[in-house]
C-alpha cells in the first residue's frame, strides 16, 4: 500500500506543481483550480488509507485553499504559491519515507512541518499582500549549487519566498531513500544493472538477426548469376536441338528432344525459388529491423520525463534572485534513450541556471528596455536528421562580446591583436573553458567559472555537440545535438590500411575529396584550403599506428573532424558507406583502447571498430607536440606534376598571403614558409621551380637562405627572387652577390610587377 501511495503522490504532486506554476502566470479560474483541488483531495484520501495523518492534514489544508480560490475568495499570488509549493514538497518528501522512517522524520522536523501547515491553513483568511514567513523547507527540484539568500524586495512589493539551500553529493544529485534521486520522475529512475544486461543481450541478438537477414542478399545475387548462366545453357540446348532436328538419326533426335524437355522444368524451378528467396529476405529484414526497433523502444522515454522539474526550478531560482522568469518546454513527447536523458539532466540544469542568473534582467530593468517584465526561457526538443536536437533560448541581456574580448586579454589567453581579430563564434568558445567567467563577483549560484565547461564535456562524452550564440540585449541560445540512443550509432564507415573503421556521424564535420595539387606545406605540415579555411592534413593510418599512408596519385578521401583550433582533416583509404551500427562493448579485459570506443558488426557481418574521436584528437595533438607527424608522402609523389611550384618565404602573414594568392591566381602551385629556417627545411623536402624570399626574417634572414640554396649541390640551379623593403644599391648588391636571380623592392612593385618578374624567371605556370 505504501508503494501505491508513493506512485499516487508522484502523479498528484506533479499535477499540483504544474497547476500552481500555470495559475501564477495566467491567473486562477474555476477550471484551472479544479484539477489541483482534486489532486489534493486524492492525496488526502490515499494518505488516510496508509495512516499518514500528517499528510492528511497537509493535503486537507491545501484542498481548503484551492476551494477558496475556486470560489474567488483567494487570489493565488506568488507568495501564496510559494507556501503551497512548500506543502507539495513536503508531501513528496514524506511519501519517499519507508514505514519505519515516518515517525523519526516527523520528530526531527516537526517544528518546520507545523510552520508550513499553519501557513497553508491561514492562507485563505489573511489579507493580500501577504508577508508570510519563508516555507520551513522544500524538496529541491534539480541538482544545483546552493542557492543564495533572496535579495531585499523593493518597497511595496511582495518579498519572494526563500528557497532553502541544499548540498549536492559527489555525483551532483541529491540522494534520498535507498540511493534514489527523490526528484526523479517515476519513469526515469535508474535501471537495475541486471535489467541493463538483459537489454544489452537482447539488442545483441536482435542485431545478429538483422545481420543474418542481410547475409541472404549475397546468396540471392549468386542465384541470379546461376539463373543467367542457366538461361545461356538452355539457349545452347535449344540451338543444339534445332541443329540435330535436321539429322537423319532418329535416336539422336530423341535424345536431343529429351534433353530439351528435362531442361525446361529446371528453368522454372530456379525462377520460382528465386522469387521465394526474395520474399523471405524481405520478410526477414522487416522482422529483424522491427525486432531491433522494439528492443530499442524499451529504453526510449519521452523528453518530458527528464525535464518535468525544470519549470519549478526556474521559477524558484528566479524568485530567490528577485526576478520573474518562466520556462516553456516544447517537444515533450520527443523520445530519447533513458540513459541519455538521465545524463543530460545536469547540463540542462546548468544552462537554465545560467539563463536565469546571468541572462535575465530584473523586472524594472526589462521594463525600461521595452521588454515584458517577465523573462522567458524556451527549451525545445525535436528529432532532426536522426539526431536529438535541443535548443534553449532566452530573451535576456545576452553576452557582451567586447567583455569576453577584454577578459580573454586580461587572463592572457590571447594577445590584444589576436583577440581583436576573433569572430563571434571564436569568442563564444572561450565560455566553454574551465574557470572562465564574466561575473565580477562570486555568489553561491555562479561566478566560479564552473558550468559551461561541464556542459561541454558531458555532451561530448555522449557523442554530442554543443554550440552557443548570443545577441547583446536580445538573448542567448544554446544548441545541443545528441544521438537518440547510445545503443545504435549512425556512422560513416571508412577503410584505413585495408581495415574497416567507423566514425560517428555526429563527429563528422564534412567529407571532401582533395586534389593532390591543392595540398600545401608549412613548417613541414601539410594542409589544404577549403571554404577560406586552412585544414591540416593528417594520415589516419599514422594516428592509429597502422603504418605510413600510401602516396596517392589521384584525389584523397578526407574526413574533417574536431572544431575550432582542434580541427583536422584525416586522410583515409576510401569512404565506404553510412550505416546504423549496434554498438557492442569491447571486453573489459582489453581495458580502454586508445582511439577506440566500441565495436560493431556491419550489415555484411564484417567486424568494425568505432573510433573515439576525442581520443583521436588528443593523439593528433600529441603527434604535433612531439613533432612526429609525418607527411602523407614525398611531395614529388603526391601528384603527377603539371603546374610549376613556387615557395614563398616571408615572416609577414599579410605579404605571404598576398603573394600566394597572386601566384595561385595565375595558376602556380604555391607553398609558404614563415622564416628562413622553415624555408630551408621545406625547399629541401620538395621540388620547386622558384623560391621568393624576404630579407629581414627571424632565425635566418633571406640572404643566408639564398646562400645556402646556391651552395647546395642539388639546389644551386633553383631560381631565387628576393622581395624586400630594402631598396638601397648596397642592399641589392648584397642580395645579388649571395646568388639571387632577381631583386624586387616591396615599396615599388604592384601585382603585375611581381607576376612579370616570375614570368621572366620561369615562364608560365604550366610546364
Q: Please give the order of strands across the beta sheet that includes 375-384.
A: 325-330, 375-384, 387-394, 475-483, 465-471
CATH number of domain containing 683 = 3.40.50.2300
The pLDDT of residue 366: 92
Length of the chain: 767
Q: Which residue has the cell 622581395?
A: 723
Give domain status of residue 182, yes or no: no
pTM for this entry: 0.55
> For residue 531, is it left (φ>0), alpha (ψ between -120 and 50) or beta?
left
Question: Which of residues 618, 635, 652 is at a domain's end?
Answer: 635
The pLDDT of residue 395: 92
Q: How sure is the predictor about 633, in pLDDT bands with cuts at 50, 70 and 90?
A: low
492 and 479, same domain (yes or no): no
**How far is residue 609's CA from residue 598's CA, in Å, rounded to a whole number?**
6
The pLDDT of residue 231: 82
Q: Residue 20: is its pLDDT beyond 70?
A: yes
Return mean pLDDT, the chain.
79
Give domain status of residue 629, yes or no: yes
Q: How sure is the predictor about 181, in pLDDT bands with cuts at 50, 70 and 90?
A: very low
Of 174, 101, 91, residue with least CA distance to 137: 91
Give domain status of residue 175, yes or no: no
Q: Residue 133: is its pLDDT beyond 50?
A: no
Residue 543 DSSP code: H
23 and 99, same domain (yes or no): yes
DSSP 583-611: -BPPPGGG-S-TTEEEEEE-TTS-EEEEE
529 and 469, same domain (yes or no): no
Q: Residue 183: is its pLDDT beyond 70?
A: no
The pLDDT of residue 19: 87
Beta strand residue intervals within 294-372, DSSP E: 300-302, 325-330, 335-337
Of 627, 626, 645, residue with least CA distance to 692: 645
Q: Residue 308: is its pLDDT beyond 50?
A: yes
627 and 557, same domain (yes or no): yes
582 and 455, same domain (yes or no): no
Bigger pLDDT: 574 vs 172: 574
* Peptide bond just before 376 cis, omega within 30 deg: no
347 and 472, same domain (yes or no): yes
Burial 265-280 (b: 16+ CB within 10 A, else e): eeeeebeeeeeebeee
- Mean pLDDT on 312-336: 90
Q: pLDDT of 32-73, one tens digit each?
A: 888 888 888 888 888 888 888 888 888 888 888 888 888 888
Give domain status of residue 550, yes or no: yes
Over pLDDT 90: what percentage of the chain? 11
503 and 451, same domain (yes or no): no
- Mean pLDDT on 228-234: 82
Q: How sure is the predictor about 327, in pLDDT bands with cuts at 50, 70 and 90?
A: very high
Task: Find the largest Cα–Cα distance for the chain.
Answer: 125
CATH number of domain containing 59 = 1.20.120.160
Contacts of 117 (CB under 8 A, 6+ apart): 57, 58, 61, 87
426 and 530, same domain (yes or no): no
Give domain status of residue 592, yes or no: yes
Give domain status of residue 77, yes or no: yes
Q: How sure is the predictor about 636, in pLDDT bands with cuts at 50, 70 and 90?
A: very low
CATH number of domain containing 576 = 2.40.50.180
Give domain status of residue 174, yes or no: no
599 and 657, same domain (yes or no): no
Q: Residue 704: is its pLDDT beyond 70?
A: yes
Of 445, 426, 435, residue with least CA distance to 356: 445
Over pLDDT 70: what percentage of the chain? 84
- Mean pLDDT on 104-119: 85
288 and 362, same domain (yes or no): no
Question: Which of residues 437, 460, 483 is at a domain's end?
Answer: 483
Number of domains into which the chain is organized: 5
Q: pLDDT of 426-452, one tens digit each?
A: 888 888 887 677 665 545 444 434 467
Q: How sure is the predictor about 747, in pLDDT bands with cuts at 50, 70 and 90?
A: low
- Mean pLDDT on 684-702: 87
Helix (H) or strand (E) holding 384: strand 375-384
Domain span at residue 646 reads 641-762
Reduce the DSSP state of residue 540 to 3 states and report it.
helix
Give domain status of residue 64, yes or no: yes
Q: Residue 166: is its pLDDT beyond 50?
A: no
Q: Residue 162: is its pLDDT beyond 90?
A: no
Helices and strands, number each (H, E), in the chain: 24, 23
Q: Residue 146: is its pLDDT beyond 60?
A: no
**How far is residue 751's CA from residue 753's CA, in Å, rounded to a whole number?**
5
265 and 286, same domain (yes or no): yes
Question: Which of residues 94, 115, 139 is at a domain's end?
Answer: 139
Q: Residue 481: is its pLDDT beyond 80?
A: yes
624 and 649, same domain (yes or no): no
**How far is residue 766's CA from residue 710's CA, in Å, rounded to a whole number?**
25
**How far is residue 489's CA from residue 697's CA, in Å, rounded to a whole number?**
51
SS (H, E, C) 724-738: ECCCCHHHHHHHHHH
The pLDDT of residue 562: 83
Amino acid at each position: 500500500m505504501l508503494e501505491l501511495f508513493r506512485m499516487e503522490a508522484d502523479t498528484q504532486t506533479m499535477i499540483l506543481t504544474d497547476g500552481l506554476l500555470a495559475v501564477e502566470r495566467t491567473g486562477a479560474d474555476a477550471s484551472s483550480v479544479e484539477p489541483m483541488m482534486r489532486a489534493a483531495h486524492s492525496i488526502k484520501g490515499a494518505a488516510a488509507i496508509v495512516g499518514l495523518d500528517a499528510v492528511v492534514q497537509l493535503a486537507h489544508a491545501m484542498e481548503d485553499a484551492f476551494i477558496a480560490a475556486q470560489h474567488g475568495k483567494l487570489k493565488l499570488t506568488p507568495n501564496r504559491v510559494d507556501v503551497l509549493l512548500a506543502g507539495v514538497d513536503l508531501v513528496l518528501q514524506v511519501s519517499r519515507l519507508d514505514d519505519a522512517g515516518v515517525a523519526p522524520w516527523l520528530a526531527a522536523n516537526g517544528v518546520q512541518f507545523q510552520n508550513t501547515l499553519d501557513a497553508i491553513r491561514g492562507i485563505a483568511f489573511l489579507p493580500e499582500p501577504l508577508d508570510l514567513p519563508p516555507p520551513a523547507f522544500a524538496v529541491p527540484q534539480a541538482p544545483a549549487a546552493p542557492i543564495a539568500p533572496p535579495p531585499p524586495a523593493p518597497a511595496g512589493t511582495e518579498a519572494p519566498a526563500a528557497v532553502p539551500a541544499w548540498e549536492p553529493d559527489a555525483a551532483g544529485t541529491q540522494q534520498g531513500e535507498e540511493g534514489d534521486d527523490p526528484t526523479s520522475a517515476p519513469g526515469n529512475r535508474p535501471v537495475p544493472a541486471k535489467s541493463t544486461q538483459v537489454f544489452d543481450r537482447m539488442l545483441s541478438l536482435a542485431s545478429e538477426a538483422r545481420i543474418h537477414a542481410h547475409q541472404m542478399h549475397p546468396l540471392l545475387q549468386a542465384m541470379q548469376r546461376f539463373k543467367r548462366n542457366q538461361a545461356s545453357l538452355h539457349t545452347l540446348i535449344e540451338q543444339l536441338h534445332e541443329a540435330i532436328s535436321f539429322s537423319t538419326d532418329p535416336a539422336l533426335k530423341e535424345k536431343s528432344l529429351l534433353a530439351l524437355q528435362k531442361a525446361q522444368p529446371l528453368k522454372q524451378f530456379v525462377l520460382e525459388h528465386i522469387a521465394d528467396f526474395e520474399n523471405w529476405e524481405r520478410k526477414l529484414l522487416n522482422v529483424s529491423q522491427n525486432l531491433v526497433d522494439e528492443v530499442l523502444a524499451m529504453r526510449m522515454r519521452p523528453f518530458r520525463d527528464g525535464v518535468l522539474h525544470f519549470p519549478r526550478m526556474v521559477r524558484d531560482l528566479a524568485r530567490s534572485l528577485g526576478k520573474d522568469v518562466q520556462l516553456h518546454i516544447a517537444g515533450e513527447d520527443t523520445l530519447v534513450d533513458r540513459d541519455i536523458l538521465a545524463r543530460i539532466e545536469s547540463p540542462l540544469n546548468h544552462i537554465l541556471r545560467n539563463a536565469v542568473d546571468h541572462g535575465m534582467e530584473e523586472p524594472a530593468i526589462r521594463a525600461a528596455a521595452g521588454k515584458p517584465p517577465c523573462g522567458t526561457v524556451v527549451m525545445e526538443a525535436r528529432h532532426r536528421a536522426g539526431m536529438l536536437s535541443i535548443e534553449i533560448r532566452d530573451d535576456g541581456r545576452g553576452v557582451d562580446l567586447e567583455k569576453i574580448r577584454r577578459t580573454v586579454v586580461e587572463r592572457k589567453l590571447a594577445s590584444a591583436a589576436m583577440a581583436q581579430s576573433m569572430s563571434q563564434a571564436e569568442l563564444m568558445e572561450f565560455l566553454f573553458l574551465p574557470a572562465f567567467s564574466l561575473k565580477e563577483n562570486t555568489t553561491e549560484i555562479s561566478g566560479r567559472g564552473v558550468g559551461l565547461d561541464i556542459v561541454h564535456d558531458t555532451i561530448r562524452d555522449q557523442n554530442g555537440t554543443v554550440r552557443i550564440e548570443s545577441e547583446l540585449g536580445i538573448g542567448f541560445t544554446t544548441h545541443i545535438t545528441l544521438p537518440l540512443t547510445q545503443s545504435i550509432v549512425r556512422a560513416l564507415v571508412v577503410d584505413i590500411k585495408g581495415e574497416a573503421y567507423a566514425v560517428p556521424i555526429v563527429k563528422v564535420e564534412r567529407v571532401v575529396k582533395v586534389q593532390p595539387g591543392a595540398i600545401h606545406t608549412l613548417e613541414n605540415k601539410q594542409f589544404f584550403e577549403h571554404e577560406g579555411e586552412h585544414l591540416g592534413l593528417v594520415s589516419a593510418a599514422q594516428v592509429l599506428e597502422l603504418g605510413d599512408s600510401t602516396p596517392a596519385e589521384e584525389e584523397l578521401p578526407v574526413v574533417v573532424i574536431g572544431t575550432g583550433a582542434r580541427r583536422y582533416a584525416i586522410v583515409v583509404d576510401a569512404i565506404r558507406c553510412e550505416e546504423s551500427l549496434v554498438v557492442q562493448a569491447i571486453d573489459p579485459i582489453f581495458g580502454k583502447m586508445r582511439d577506440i570506443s566500441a565495436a560493431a558488426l556491419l550489415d555484411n557481418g564484417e567486424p568494425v571498430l568505432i573510433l573515439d574521436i576525442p581520443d583521436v584528437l588528443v593523439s593528433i595533438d600529441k603527434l604535433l607536440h612531439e613533432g612526429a607527424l609525418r607527411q602523407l608522402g614525398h611531395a614529388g609523389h603526391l601528384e603527377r606534376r603539371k603546374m610549376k611550384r613556387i615557395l614563398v618565404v616571408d615572416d609577414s602573414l599579410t605579404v605571404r598571403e598576398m603573394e600566394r594568392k597572386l601566384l595561385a591566381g595565375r595558376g602556380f602551385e604555391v607553398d609558404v614558409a614563415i622564416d628562413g629556417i622553415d624555408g630551408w627545411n621545406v625547399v629541401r623536402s620538395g621540388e620547386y621551380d622558384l623560391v621568393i624570399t624576404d630579407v629581414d626574417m627571424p632565425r635566418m634572414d633571406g640572404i643566408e637562405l639564398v646562400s645556402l640554396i646556391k651552395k647546395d649541390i642539388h639546389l644551386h640551379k633553383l631560381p631565387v627572387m628576393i622581395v624586400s623593403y630594402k631598396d638601397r644599391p648596397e642592399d641589392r648588391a648584397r642580395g645579388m652577390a649571395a646568388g639571387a636571380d632577381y631583386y624586387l623592392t616591396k615599396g615599388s612593385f604592384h601585382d603585375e610587377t611581381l607576376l612579370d618578374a616570375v614570368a621572366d624567371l620561369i615562364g608560365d605556370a604550366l610546364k
